[in-house]
């Protein structure tokens, strides 16, 4: 398996799919950006790209991986967590990637 997704993340992603008309799945890709090099691009998609790698997870969640980022995300666990920071409770997807060598201070980008 290229990536895995926790039950909390599956539930969150499925609720996002239900809110977007015409959605067909969840796509993970990355882009060069930020102070450390790469950023995750989790997207609810309405169209599957011809070269996307299809995966199906628990609860029949359709997931697609950009084939150009497989080597960077292999072994990644996607989770959905609530974090308390400065009096604010923030819920978000987090990426636990064994390939990361460093992450920028703001947490928006990573190096492999």
Tokens, residue 79: 């989770």
Mind listing the pLDDT tens digit for each residue in 5-35?
999 999 999 999 999 999 999 999 998 876 6
pLDDT score of 107: 52
Confidence of residue 89 (pLDDT cuts 50, 70, 90): confident
Topology (CATH level 3) of domain 3-111: Hypothetical Protein Aq_1857; Chain: A; (2.60.300)
- Stretch 91-109: mean pLDDT: 72
What are the angstrom distances between the C-alpha of 104 and each of 9, 55, 56, 86? 23, 29, 31, 20
* Cβ–Cβ < 8 Å for 14, 58: no
pLDDT score of 31: 87
Domain regions of the chain by residue span: 3-111
Mind listing the pLDDT tens digit for each residue in 34-77?
666 888 899 999 999 999 999 988 778 999 999 999 998 999 99
**Alpha helices by DSSP H, the chain:** 7-19, 70-73
State the pTM of this model.
Answer: 0.84
């Amino acid at each position: 398996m290229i990536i895995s997704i926790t039950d909390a993340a599956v539930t969150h992603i499925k609720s996002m799919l239900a809110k977007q008309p015409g959605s067909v799945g969840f796509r993970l890709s990355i882009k060069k950006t930020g102070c450390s090099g790469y950023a995750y691009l989790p997207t609810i998609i309405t169209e599957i790209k011809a070269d996307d790698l299809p995966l199906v997870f628990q609860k029949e969640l359709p997931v697609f991986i950009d084939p150009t980022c497989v080597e960077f995300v292999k072994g990644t666990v996607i989770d959905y967590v609530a974090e308390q920071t400065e009096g604010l409770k923030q819920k978000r997807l987090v990426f636990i990637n064994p390939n990361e060598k460093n992450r920028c201070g703001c947490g928006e980008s990573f190096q492999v």
